DNA sequence: TCTGCCATGTAAGCCGTTACATGATTTT
DNA sequence: AAAATCATGTAACGGCTTACATGGCAGA
């Protein structure tokens, strides 16, 4: 296990908590759940699994060729599941509501695990993230004010666009925060069909 | 110098092309121009400068303590400027209109240097980037269609938001592309002052 | 048959960060 | 006098990717 707040490890524990899986499948799930783009490579995943297993947080059982032959007669694969220690570790990771939870590299993963996170912590993380982003906004705006003159139109446009994306992210968080506050103790069932169309208004989605 | 399409190197060459600078200043400029956030560290910058110097693309002159004493009597610092070879390298980097220009890690830098890039290449890069993003959109949408049922509301919302951000990026590119096409060989009259010299061909920004 | 997906891993290397080391100069 | 900022660097390490190595199974 890597030292402080191993993001990939947490993500793996989170997925395995939902259901046991083998590496190949886990990778697909990881890629489709978070990131969505940027594919995690096997060169990262398998060593991470090994590390988690060595740390006793997960245990792998080899399902070698035994199955009757009906369906799923693939080949020897290693299905991992959480150990008791792994469950504990996951719980403490889910309870973390500090910077480690809302920084760039980890927020996505933590958010994807919100279904297993208690309401208090969810709110704390969303607010932390929001503060983080508005701080950034401030810094960038000041920097732009200082340097606007010296920059060509393209560079300026790049910055403007970057700023806009972050602003949008903040508004997104605002919606989520509102929602969390409103739904204190209400799991938000009955989400409409997210369908497609630009914004829809699906699950615990914010309005804008 | 690192092998293929060294992004940081190109960024440095681009900035030094505008005006000679020393490392400390360069870092600030890099951070304010692109990224805006995510600060590049000295641990990256100085070795990169060393590598560029070793490759003969830039030359550093030590301005040690000599200055009259009037203003700017800082301390011995090394002001770098492009060599002839460096200028050539930068030109060929600016002419690159393939994937290396529009992939995630490099697009920002290339875009920030659009003022020094010819119109043909600008258009090619913007279109390449657009294609890249729509491909991603496709992949993700398909993946979502397949897995929508199995995912909890939060995960779904995360994906929806990610998708929306990319869609917005595509629309942003559409605006830029339109703009580029509109300004084909037409001075466009009232566009902003080119501000910098070099390439002629004003730098038309899109509307928002 | 051959292509492509399933499945697991290892080795090398890239690109960057943090932390350390050092010291001058400017501002409070 | 202390604190911030200017200025340059090095060493260690972190996290991820690419490319390599291996092989079984399914369908065109």
Q: Which nucleotides of C are covered by protein (CB under 7 A)?
A: 6-12, 14-20, 23-26
Q: Is the CB of B49 under 7 A from strand D?
A: yes
Is residue A74 within 8 Å of residue A25, measured between CB atoms? no
**pLDDT surpassing 60 at residue A70:** no
Q: A208 and chain B: CB distance < 8 Å anywhere? A: no
Question: pLDDT class for A184, splitting at 50, 70, 90?
Answer: low
Give the separation between CA B29 and CA B48, rounded to whole angstroms: 15
pLDDT at B5: 79
Question: pLDDT class for A183, splitting at 50, 70, 90?
Answer: confident
Question: pLDDT class for B200, splitting at 50, 70, 90?
Answer: very low
pLDDT at A111: 96
**pLDDT surpassing 60 at residue A28:** yes
Q: Which residue of A has its CA nearest to B30?
A: A155
Give the A:B interface size as CB pairs under 8 Å: 116
Find chain B residues with C-beta within 8 A of A199's C-beta. Answer: 164
Nearest-Cα distance to chain A for B76, in Å, is 26
Q: Is the CB of A43 under 7 A from strand D?
A: yes
Give the separation between CA B6 and CA B54, rounded to whole angstroms: 15
Of residues B195 and A12, more confidence is placed in A12
pTM (two decimals): 0.85
Q: Is the CB of A50 under 7 A from strand D?
A: no
Per residue in B11-46, pLDDT (tens digit) is: 999 999 999 999 999 999 998 888 666 789 999 999
Cβ burial, residue B119 (10 Å; 0-12/13-18/19+): middle
Choose from A11, A25, A30, A32 for mutation: most chain B CBs within 10 A: A32
Q: Which of residues 62 through 101 in chain B touch A, CB cutoff 8 A?
A: none
Is residue B192 within 8 Å of residue B203, measured between CB atoms? yes
Nearest CA to B204 out of B105, B126, B88 is that of: B126
Mean pLDDT, range B92-121, rounded to an integer: 95
Per residue in A87-128, pLDDT (tens digit) is: 999 999 999 999 999 999 999 999 999 999 999 999 999 999
Q: Is the CB of B8 under 7 A from strand C?
A: yes
Of residues A206 and A167, more confidence is placed in A167
Using the beta-carbon criterion (under 8 Å), do B154 and A191 form an inter-chain contact? no
Question: pLDDT class for B146, splitting at 50, 70, 90?
Answer: confident
Q: Worst-scoring range by mean pLDDT, A55-59, A140-144, B43-47?
A: A140-144
pLDDT at A194: 35
**pLDDT surpassing 70 at residue A65:** no
| C-alpha to C-alpha distances, A78 to A50, A52, B137, nearest whole angstrom | 11, 14, 32
CA of B70 to C1' of C25 (A): 14
Question: pLDDT class for A197, splitting at 50, 70, 90?
Answer: very low
Choose from B19, B39, B151, B160 for mutation: most chain A CBs within 10 A: B160
Nearest to B37 among A114, A136, A196 (CB): A136
Helical residues (DSSP H) of chain B, grouped into ranges: 7-18, 23-33, 42-54, 84-95, 99-102, 104-112, 119-147, 153-182
Give the separation between CA A22 and CA A79, rounded to whole angstroms: 4
Residues in B 128-147 whose C-beta is less than 7 A from nucleic strand C are: none
Nearest to A205 among B139, B157, B195 (CB): B157
Nearest to A203 among B113, B156, B191 (CB): B156
Q: Which residue of B has its CA nearest to A187?
A: B153
pLDDT at B185: 55
CA of B84 to C1' of C8 (A): 51
Using the beta-carbon criterion (under 8 Å), do A154 and B192 form an inter-chain contact? no
Nearest-Cα distance to chain A for B167, in Å, is 8
Q: Which residue of A has its CA nearest to B165?
A: A165
Looking at chain B, the whole-number percentage of residues with pLDDT higher than 90 is: 65
**pLDDT surpassing 80 at residue A60:** yes
Q: A33 and chain B: CB distance < 8 Å anywhere? A: yes
Instruction: Centre a 10 Å sphere on the Cβ of residue B84 and count the other Cβ atoms it contains.
Output: 10
Cβ burial, residue B63 (10 Å; 0-12/13-18/19+): middle
């Amino acid at each position: 296990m890597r030292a402080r707040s191993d993001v990939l490890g947490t993500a793996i524990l989170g997925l395995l908590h939902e259901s046991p899986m083998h590496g190949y499948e886990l990778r697909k799930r990881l890629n489709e759940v978070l990131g969505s783009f940027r594919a995690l490579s096997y060169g990262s995943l398998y060593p991470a699994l090994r590390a988690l297993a060595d740390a006793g947080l997960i245990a792998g059982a080899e399902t070698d060729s035994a199955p009757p032959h009906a369906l799923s007669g693939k080949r020897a694969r290693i299905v991992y599941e959480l150990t008791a220690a792994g469950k504990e570790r996951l719980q403490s990771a889910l309870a973390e509501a500090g910077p480690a939870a809302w920084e760039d590299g980890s927020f996505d993963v933590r958010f994807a695990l919100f279904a297993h996170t208690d309401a208090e912590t969810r709110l704390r993380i969303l607010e932390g993230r929001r503060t983080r982003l508005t701080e950034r906004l401030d810094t960038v705006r000041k920097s732009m004010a200082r340097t606007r003159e010296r920059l060509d139109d393209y560079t300026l446009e790049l910055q403007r666009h970057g700023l806009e994306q972050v602003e949008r992210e903040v508004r997104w968080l605002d919606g989520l925060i509102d929602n969390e506050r409103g739904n204190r103790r209400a799991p938000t069932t009955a989400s409409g069909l997210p369908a497609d169309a630009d914004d829809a208004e699906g699950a615990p989605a914010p309005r804008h």
